[in-house]
């Protein structure tokens, strides 16, 4: 019986579990995570408006783990021994015949005064804090922006920030108080949304203009204070600041021999195999993979990488050479509460479709379809 340890309980981890179990009913699978629960992060964009509540997006995994015959080890990964064959956790050591790391990324919190901002993708508590602040504010300036990891172009998550931007604009209009607020979008990138493709940049900027959203683009971030966004191109006042910094690797990676990219992520090949290590794989935000610099850090990509990692680990167990690769594609609906804009990008094509009610409902339908497997 082969023993596989999976670190994490996010998109990549749960997909890896299903692929491994389907391939080998007898395999011993151990999942290491702080809690046996899954947060559907894409849905947090709807928490500020009340379309979603925390209970809709926080899914207990006990039943799913039982169905998949998974051993759950509650704890935090803290290091590796024996070339990856032993995972160290704050609750003891776990030996394995194969390891898949799906522990996500970590936001870079180095900018001075960043504690004065809310980072939406940190999960449900952050989204609830945005909801509370919006309810308290009677007017003023709301600043929404993101930055990247200059050493790792792919280690950023800008898409959700456009959704929070357009969603808050729509929410304020529905509440008939948009005229009391100024919305400002900021990013060091001169062309926001460039990773979504050139067509998307035009569409996003046009949408901001249409909604009377001001922009502060192309200036390196200096920091924040209580009530101010500071850039090399000047500073501006803000009563609420939502900011998504770039991403890097988990802190526990520092206590290992895992090969790291310049940006701090785990270096992997196109088969999701960690470079220079035996039967150690990575999927999702923890990894730095070969491919175009627009390769997204999003749930869909994590699922595709996890599928490849699981298939290749099974191949190695069977004495075969890993051959599975993952398709690099970006698919998202930039939602704004009542409508959505579809954006898709592959290495050959870039599709952008304008704001339509249909896309908003498709996004909600996809959420229902995706989560039913874990309920």
Same domain, 115 and 233: yes
One domain, residues 147 and 208: yes
* Per-residue pLDDT tens over the stretch 157-187: 888 999 999 999 999 999 999 999 999 999 9
Asked if residue 81 and residue 134 are part of one domain, the reply reads no
Q: Are residues 99 and 149 in the same domain?
A: no
Instruction: State the burial class of residue 50 (Cβ atoms within 10 Å of its Cβ: 0-12, 13-18, 19+).
Output: exposed
Cβ neighbours, 10 Å, residue 351: 13
Residue 62 clears pLDDT 90, i.e. is over it: yes
Residue 210 DSSP SS3: helix
Q: How many domains does the chain have?
A: 2
**Residues 265 and 149 occupy one common structural domain:** no
Task: Specify the pLDDT at position 161.
Answer: 95
Select from 245, 266, 281 the last residue of a domain: 245
195 and 288 belong to one structural domain: no
**Which residues 6+ apart lie within 8 Å of 327 measured at CB?**
304, 346
Statement to judge: residues 140 and 225 lie in one domain:
yes
136 vs 197, which has greater pLDDT? 136
- 322, part of any domain: no
Q: Which of 230, 245, 260 is the last residue of a domain?
A: 245
CA 279 remoteness from chain centre: 25
For residue 228, the domain's CATH number is: 3.50.50.60
Inside any domain, residue 336? no
Element (H, E) at 335: strand 330-335
Beta bridge pairs of residue 240: 142
Q: How far apart are CA 162 and CA 45, in angstroms?
A: 10
Query: What is the rounded average pLDDT of the residues 111-129?
Result: 96
- Give a yes or no: residue 337 inside a domain: no
Residue 294's pLDDT is 87
Q: Phi, psi at residue 278, to the nearest 5°?
A: -90, 125
Q: Is 130 within 8 Å of 48 (Cβ atoms)?
A: yes
Interatomic CA distance for residues 340 and 11, integer angstroms: 23
Which domain covers residue 74, as residue numbers? 3-106+247-317
Residue 195 has pLDDT above 90, yes or no: no
Tokens of 190: 């001169």
| % of the chain with per-residue pLDDT over 70 | 100
Give a yes or no: residue 100 inside a domain: yes
List phi, psi (to 5°) of 30.
Answer: -120, 130
In 113-239, at which residue ranges do the beta strands (DSSP E only) sit?
A: 140-146, 181-187, 214-217, 221-225, 228-231, 234-237
Please state, in angstroms and rounded to a whole number, the distance separating the CA atoms of residues 359 and 70.
36
All residues at 6 or more sequence positions from 272 whose CB lies less than 8 Å from its CB, including other chains: 281, 282, 283, 287, 289, 305, 306, 308, 309, 312, 326
Range from 42-46, 200-204, 266-270, 307-311 carrying the lowest mean pLDDT: 200-204
238, 255: one domain: no
Segment holding 122, helix H or strand E:
none
41 and 122 fall within a common domain: no
Instruction: Using a pLDDT cut of 90, give the percent of the chain over it.
Output: 89
Mean pLDDT of 64-84: 97
pLDDT of residue 245: 96
215 and 120, same domain (yes or no): yes
pLDDT at 201 (0 to 100): 86
At 315-373, the pLDDT tens digits run 999 999 999 999 999 999 999 999 999 999 988 888 999 999 999 999 999 999 999 99
DSSP per-residue string spanning 18-66: HHHHHH-TT-EEEEEESSSEEE-GGGGGGTTTTSS-HHHHEEE-HHHHH
Per-residue model confidence as pLDDT tens digits over 149-160: 989 878 888 889
Query: For the segment 225-248, what is each residue's pLDDT rounded down to a tens digit?
Result: 999 999 999 999 999 999 999 999
Residues 27-34: what's their mean pLDDT?
98
Domain membership of residue 86 (yes or no) is yes
Q: Residue 68 pLDDT more than 90?
A: yes
Q: With cut-offs at 50, 70 and 90, classify the pLDDT of residue 303.
A: very high
- Same domain? 189 vs 155: yes
Q: Model pTM greater than 0.85? A: yes
Query: pLDDT-based confidence at 191, cuts 50/70/90?
Result: confident
Please tell me the distance from the alpha carbon of residue 269 to that of residue 214, in angstroms, as a whole number.
41
Residue 79 pLDDT > 90: yes
pLDDT digits (tens, 9 = 90+) for 268-289: 999 999 999 999 999 999 999 9
252 and 240 within one domain: no
**Residue 267: inside a domain:** yes
**Has residue 98 been placed in a domain?**
yes
CA geometry: angle at 60 spanning 100 and 103, to 5°?
A: 25
How confident is the model at residue 156, as a pLDDT?
85
Q: Is residue 213 part of a domain?
A: yes
Residue at a domain's end among 223, 245, 267: 245
Partners of 224 in the β-ladder: 229
302 confidence band (pLDDT: 50, 70, 90): very high
């Amino acid at each position: 019986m082969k023993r596989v340890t999976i670190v994490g309980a996010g998109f990549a981890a749960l997909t890896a579990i299903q692929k491994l179990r389907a391939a080998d009913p007898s395999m011993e699978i151990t999942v290491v995570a702080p809690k046996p629960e899954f947060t559907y992060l894409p849905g947090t964009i709807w928490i500020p408006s009340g379309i979603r509540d925390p209970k809709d997006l926080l899914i207990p995994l006990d039943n799913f783990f039982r169905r998949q015959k998974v051993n759950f080890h509650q704890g935090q990964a803290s290091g590796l021994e024996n070339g990856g064959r032993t995972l160290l956790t704050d609750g003891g050591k776990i030996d394995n015949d194969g390891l898949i790391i799906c522990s996500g990324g970590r936001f870079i919190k180095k900018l001075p005064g960043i504690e004065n901002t809310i980072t939406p993708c940190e999960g449900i508590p952050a989204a609830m804090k945005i909801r509370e602040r919006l309810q308290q504010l009677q007017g003023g300036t709301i600043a929404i922006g993101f930055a990247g990891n200059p050493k790792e172009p792919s280690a950023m998550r800008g898409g959700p920030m456009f959704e929070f931007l357009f969603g808050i604009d729509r929410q304020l209009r529905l509440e008939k108080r948009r005229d009391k607020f100024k919305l400002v979008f900021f990013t060091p990138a001169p062309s926001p949304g460039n990773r979504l493709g050139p067509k998307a940049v035009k569409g996003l900027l046009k949408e901001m203009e249409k909604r009377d959203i001001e922009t502060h683009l192309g200036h390196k971030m200096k920091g924040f204070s209580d009530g101010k966004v500071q850039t090399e191109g000047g500073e501006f006042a803000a009563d609420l600041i939502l900011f998504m910094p770039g991403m890097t690797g988990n802190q526990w990676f520092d206590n290992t021999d895992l090969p790291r990219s310049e940006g701090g992520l785990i270096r992997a090949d196109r088969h999701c195999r960690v470079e220079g290590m035996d039967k150690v794989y990575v999927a999702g935000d923890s990894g730095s993979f070969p491919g175009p610099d627009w390769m997204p850090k999003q749930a869909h990509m994590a699922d595709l990488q996890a599928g490849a990692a699981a298939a290749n680990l099974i191949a190695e167990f069977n004495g075969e050479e890993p051959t599975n690769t993952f398709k690099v594609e970006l698919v998202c609906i930039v939602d704004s509460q009542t409508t959505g804009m579809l954006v898709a990008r592959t290495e050959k094509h870039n599709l952008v479709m304008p704001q339509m009610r249909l896309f908003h409902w498709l996004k909600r339908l996809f959420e229902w379809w995706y989560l039913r497997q874990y309920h």
